[in-house]
Structure 1
């Protein structure tokens, strides 16, 4: 808004040895210019000198703008208004010209505003000039560049069909889902071009467009021998084979040709299935895992059924005891639409052995009563709703999960209880919508309760709720009371929340585009949580909370350092200021 600003060099002040100089600059800001009025007009796309009636009420459009009478006249506000107005039109079928490859497509455009200056009142009278384009409908939906991946894998991520109104929000959300699969990205190759979407006009019917998603096969087969260290789990090694775009019905042609065909994506690739095989020896935690998931059993694309099977074993050495867990689960999920909302259910079995109590006299009663081997048989039912801009690295959107697992009763096993958990995550960005990388907030909340029935007198120690470590920074892992001797009793009720401000400090360009991606970030946070010894028994006086900061690498390797400082704690809590997670791949 400082349109009359003048900047001039006052003088140069050299050092005696003439090796350095101090530059003195004079800045005269002048008066602050404000917006006197704002209007919006439509222009004839064939003759920009001629007006065209607005397709929507002027008051409706003006309500979307940040540039309003009385506010400072700032370029940033105009840039924001361009984005929101073009999106408003795009969600109603009037697509912006920049998405079209053909300059003759006649898409919507936001032209340079017409500004009249009142030099006496220092006011700017602004008129936004819009070329509104025409309402478009979808013709073909094309997918190109998926050399080895089946079309159906991409199309099930899209929630629009030919013949429907071309809604830019739906089209871009489909692009975000395709990117979020990770099938067409390679974080280790800086020249890899991520998926994009373009529109092609039908010359026979200008009201119809073809939507084309352009892809390039990414890195989806990872075989890693890696090591890492984390404050919650100590030093670990990891041997992992992960295939994110697996195809079990596409085996290699021979045993000796298998490695080459898999590497070239000619075998075990292209159907969107997932397969993982992990083996991890560690100083405090050792585990193995086998997982397979088929995302579309019946081939319906939308409203599909997914099947997921997993088996794992984990051996963990706590300060208080040793715990060995063997577990298997089968999940059948119904994903509605393109999968934003889903229902999941299936059986699970666990065998848990607790042994080697380090200090029986100072061990909590909940732990002592759980010593030995316990079999658990359960049935889970989950509901999830997720609408994130990127499932792998979200920056905007929300995620909800309500999970219930029924153990024992007619299913058998040594424990009878119902475990219910709720989780909420919200991501949103601040600043100019036109920027690729922006600061933002992450809000998280979770709550849980375990309710016993039948012959069970208390929930098994391994299935109780705990706080500390990454779940409540500033406190040691499982370091939050109520305490029993030297260790946490664990809770049958739990609630926690976090708010985190994330600020990018370094970005890099994305190959083949004008976009940028975040590499390093700073963050500040406030965490809070509370445990209740019994079901439905949370006391506000028992809340623990901490404040802190951190920094980390975002891509391609996850690395985060956190420094937490409790300001609400209780006697017996174990504190830990510094926590971190580091993965080192070779």
Structure 2
């Protein structure tokens, strides 16, 4: 019996399979339903637009099969194109169907009007309303336009402004829309009075240097000041941002319970000015109860693609990492201390190639995650746990250069001090970037806002663990710097300037044709890309006229590392002094070698011709009269120079140093008229002090210069024209140009010295900066600073009498863009008889 049942089952299987197969074939063979053909389209309800316009947008054509998807998309396009709502219906007709499209056109005013706008012109109102390019306004948009007008009026200080929308019946769907504006008075801030900020009272010095809660928070709303005599326009949105910024300052400095809130306003009688009263309850500062450090890492993503941080093992002992931190139990928990700790920890991990950079994927990058904070409100303490994503050890697989369409790779690579196969060193990578920027091959100082400075990024190599490609990205700079400008200064008088500079010159890259030379050079297809310097310079002026030609080849033999350079220069200079006129010509030729990446040494020959004339008839120092009687002076000698430079920006440095040492040995054996040795050493140090809220940096600058001249052989003293002189915008502000003694007792003109020492201590504060388009980089436009200058001249060689020291104190204002302008106000502190003071000095333009 069982055997019969099994046989029956075996017989049913192929039968069922044949039935399924046959059914499938039958289904495949079944004809698809045919869509009816559209025989006509009827539009109902149209007023402003024609039936043909509406049918053209639909996408459904008469005579074609009905396409419901295309029709649905077409109805959406009606709204986007014409602000018309549409619906469809169909009815059967012989041979197919007829579509009935019912439309509802939105009411529109072709020319909306504004009334009552006395303080703001109609062009500005249309800009606010976003009606500049098209004047028509759909009625349903009037509410949003009203809101935009109100918001912009409030931003302009019209605190009491009101806007109403009036509509009148028009012709069909064409109503008349009127925005009725009641502006009220423009309100300006008369004063901002803050109470309760005992820990951070607002103070100021010389109008520019402010401290306290207002300066730390970058408060925007202020009363009348030096650069805004009327006070800021009152805007409640700005006030809310100011309150939030002040709250953040308190939290950043440990006051986590601080309350910063608006108390009340006080308007004057005509409501054109307002006093803002802000109340602060600081509370207690929170101190660190404990500090621990833990390592975390990103877990593998789940099925939804989400991942989270999970604990992992620290690579270094926790005690070693804690020793790097400034934050300790008992200290106030401040953002500044936390930032210092982040920097120290980042540096420690960076030493082993575990670096942080926004272009690295987070699976590879080191990062400092938000710390875990446990607050105790009774004891005002906080337990802090730093959380570190330790990242992977990054190695450089390949170094790439992108954007150098015409500049040779070697020109860029000789500035890069990291190498393929090495562990990534972020500091050295950034130093290399600084050197690339300092070449000025990829900069445009006359178009800083639009020209992007070089940068770099990391490109992870696929399936290679921690290996990445380092890519430097550049944009070719100004190929020919033709400068037609002028300027004026207290030291050098007025001048015109005509110069042609090619900082990335290539003497061997000749044009294909002389007729097309200019266009080829302009397109960087000729005479460009080898990193050479060609400079032609002419500046005729009222007091100083100078002409110079120079050619520099930084790498004669193409050695790439430690290159040998060649430098040749010729210049002629005419200077009118109070005592005399001086004509000076110079020819210099040098060979130099770079050691490492930041230092160069040069050796060469220099010859100088000096001719003094037109001496002051009322009397001059005897040394000058003696030089005039002996005729033109010729100085020929050997020059030895050493220079080192490492700064973050060639135009406005914030971090780094420069050093220069020059020795010139003039000798009669080299056809010089005198025997004289001159040694000059100078240096600059730039130290960033703190970063402002807008990302700009304050900087402390130290400059020192020392020089000495030693006559030898039968030369008794240094000629008058070759001595050192102090005073003016570049050496000792607060004193007139060459206004520092010792002076001749009869003529009262300076005698100069054979030894000099001068320098400055400066602190600069960015007053205004603008954002470079396409980046988040801030460019300083206006900066202020305070300075302490010192200087000393000694008539003897290698001798300094500090009893003759001169000093001055003052402040400076500098405009960097679009034209360099510097204003100095110096006040001498130590002076001697015969010194000529000059409180105000300035320069406009560069020379």
TM-score by length of 2: 0.66
Looking at secondary structure, tell me which structure has more helix per residue: 2
1:399/1:425 contact within 8 Å kept: yes
Q: Say which of 117, 122, 133 aligns to 2:380.
A: 122
Q: Which region of structure 1 is more displaced relative to structure 2, 509-518 or 327-336?
A: 509-518
Which whole-Å deviations, capped at 9, do the CAs of 1:206-263 have from their partners, x for residues lacking one?
1211100111112241112211112111111111101111111112222331222222
Alignment of 1:304-383 (within 5 A): 304-338=563-597, 340-359=598-617, 362-371=619-628, 372-383=631-642
Alignment of 1:183-198 (within 5 A): 183-189=441-447, 190-198=449-457
Taking a change above 3 Å as real, the CA distance of residues 23 and 414 of structure 1, as seen in their structure-2 partners, is: closer
Taking a change above 3 Å as real, the CA distance of residues 154 and 68 of structure 1, as seen in their structure-2 partners, is: same
Taking a change above 3 Å as real, the CA distance of residues 529 and 22 of structure 1, as seen in their structure-2 partners, is: closer
Q: Say which of 447, 453, 475 aligns to 2:706.
A: 447
Deviation at 1:97, TM superposition (A): 4.7
The answer as to 2:821 corresponding to 1:559 is yes
Q: Say which of 526, 532, 536 aligns to 1:277.
A: 536
Q: Could you tell me which residue of structure 1 aligns to residue 739 of structure 2?
A: 479
Deviation at 1:167, TM superposition (A): 0.3
Q: Could you tell me which residue of structure 2 aligns to residue 181 of structure 1?
A: 439
Measured in 2, the distance between the counterparts of 1:39 and 1:433 equals 29
SS at match of 2:518: helix
Q: Which runs of 4+ in 1 moved over 6 A?
A: none
Q: Which region of structure 1 is more displaced relative to structure 2, 17-26 or 416-425?
A: 17-26
The answer as to 2:453 corresponding to 1:200 is no
Deviation at 1:512, TM superposition (A): 2.2
Alignment of 1:477-556 (within 5 A): 477-484=737-744, 485-556=747-818
Measured in 1, the distance between the counterparts of 2:473 and 2:835 equals 54
Measured in 2, the distance between the counterparts of 1:150 and 1:460 equals 47
Measured in 2, the distance between the counterparts of 1:370 and 1:56 equals 72
Q: Say which of 217, 220, 244 aligns to 2:503.
A: 244
Taking a change above 3 Å as real, the CA distance of residues 290 and 417 of structure 1, as seen in their structure-2 partners, is: same
1:550/1:560 contact within 8 Å kept: yes
2:298/2:309 contact within 8 Å kept: no
Q: Could you tell me which residue of structure 2 aligns to residue 580 of structure 1?
A: 842
Q: Which region of structure 1 is more displaced relative to structure 2, 143-152 or 202-211?
A: 202-211
Deviation at 1:434, TM superposition (A): 9.2
Measured in 2, the distance between the counterparts of 1:428 and 1:459 equals 37
Measured in 2, the distance between the counterparts of 1:455 and 1:404 equals 20
Measured in 2, the distance between the counterparts of 1:476 and 1:26 equals 50
SS at match of 1:561: strand
1:187/1:556 contact within 8 Å kept: no
Taking a change above 3 Å as real, the CA distance of residues 239 and 159 of structure 1, as seen in their structure-2 partners, is: same
Q: How many residues align?
A: 581
Measured in 1, the distance between the counterparts of 2:682 and 2:282 equals 50
SS at match of 2:669: helix
Taking a change above 3 Å as real, the CA distance of residues 522 and 12 of structure 1, as seen in their structure-2 partners, is: closer
Q: Say which of 427, 435, 438 aligns to 2:686.
A: 427
Which whole-Å deviations, capped at 9, do the CAs of 1:45-88 have from their partners, x for residues lacking one?
33655432322343443344343322322234334433443243
Q: Could you tell me which residue of structure 2 aligns to residue 148 of structure 1?
A: 406
Looking at secondary structure, tell me which structure has more strand per residue: 1
Which whole-Å deviations, capped at 9, do the CAs of 1:476-498 have from their partners, x for residues lacking one?
11111111122111111111121
TM-score by length of 1: 0.95
Where relative contact order (Cα < 8 A, 6+ residues apart) is larger, the structure is 1
1:5/1:27 contact within 8 Å kept: yes
Structure with the greater alpha carbon radius of gyration = 2
Measured in 1, the distance between the counterparts of 2:363 and 2:477 equals 32
SS at match of 2:623: helix
Unaligned runs of 5+ in 1: none
